[in-house]
Amino acid sequence: MSKILLVEDNPDAVKRIIRYINKIFAELDVVSFPEAGEALQYAKANDVSLFILDIQLEDYKGTSLAKQLRELPEYKYTPIIFETALAGEELSAYRDVKCYSFLVKPFDEEEFAAAFRDALGLSKQMNQQAKTIQIEQKQFILEYAAQDIAYIEAFGKKLVIHTISRLSGIKEDTISGYTLSGLLALLDDPAFVQCHKSYVVNKSHIEKIDKSGRKICLKGFTDTIPIGNKYQAELWG
């Protein structure tokens, strides 16, 4: 579930904004703080998809909070929406912090919804593009970009991760201590589905599906992936 961090010290404004968000996507997890310091600590301990920051806060400015967030690698490009009654802060926010959008109080529901939908859409796109997983192997940690994984193959108690990078001459990795279901949970991405008891495939790399032959052809790969009877629904319903 995506987390939205709202930093606003006006209780009525908090209630109104949460109401607006719930009308757009009720399943989103909205967390609010009245102070920048508390919000910063929360952001460091949690994965936030989008920030909504009031510029005038109880302890220090929302623009200062945004600068602190931008110094954290995980939030270097995370969308930030500023809200304030001081329209003169707009140019400074855009120049110094690279905020995504700017709402001048009082703003109505339509204005908020337009900015919020755009920013949330960008956040989802960025997360999908940048998502990586880390796999521990003895004294090493292997990191993969989810988009680079074409399919995963099980051999007994070992797994082989086949990546698009392999097409450029980089050898695939054999890992131990993980199951296909465990890697699926780690990936947590609807693009990855189990198509056979021994295979997980990234649907975004499928070139074609041979239903009669029960096999999958992947872009750039000569090997085909089998489809198990119990897994057909995952591919074509």
User: Which tokens belong to 144?
Assistant: 């993969």
Answer whether residue 234 shows pLDDT above 70. Answer: yes
Place of tokens 């929406």: 81
Which part of the chain is CATH 3.40.50.2300? 3-130
Please tell me the predicted confidence (pLDDT) of residue 134.
Answer: 87
What is the CATH topology of the domain spanning 132-236?
OB fold (Dihydrolipoamide Acetyltransferase, E2P) (2.40.50)
> What are the pLDDT digits (tens) for 65-124?
999 998 887 788 888 999 987 766 655 666 667 677 888 888 999 999 988 888 887 666
Q: Sorting pLDDT into bands at 50, 70 and 90, what band is 166?
A: low
Asked if the peptide bond before residue 79 counts as cis, ω within 30 degrees of 0, the response is no
Please tell me the predicted confidence (pLDDT) of residue 144.
Answer: 86
User: Which one, of 11, 10, 23, lies nearest residue 117 by Cα?
Assistant: 23
Please tell me the predicted confidence (pLDDT) of residue 168.
Answer: 46
Q: Cα separation of 190 and 193, whole Å?
A: 7
Answer whether residue 226 shows pLDDT above 50. Answer: yes
| CATH of region 3-130, choose from 3.40.50.1220, 3.20.20.10, 3.40.50.2300, 1.10.540.10 | 3.40.50.2300
Contact 229, 211 (CB under 8 A): no
Please tell me the predicted confidence (pLDDT) of residue 169.
Answer: 46
Answer whether residue 41 shows pLDDT above 60. Answer: yes
pTM for this model (two decimals): 0.54
> What are the pLDDT digits (tens) for 183-217?
999 988 888 999 999 999 998 788 899 999 999 99
Q: Cα separation of 115 and 189, whole Å?
A: 26
Please tell me the predicted confidence (pLDDT) of residue 72.
Answer: 86
Checking DSSP bridges between strand 50-54 and strand 3-7, what pairing results, if any?
parallel
Which part of the chain is CATH 2.40.50.1020? 132-236
Contact 227, 215 (CB under 8 A): yes
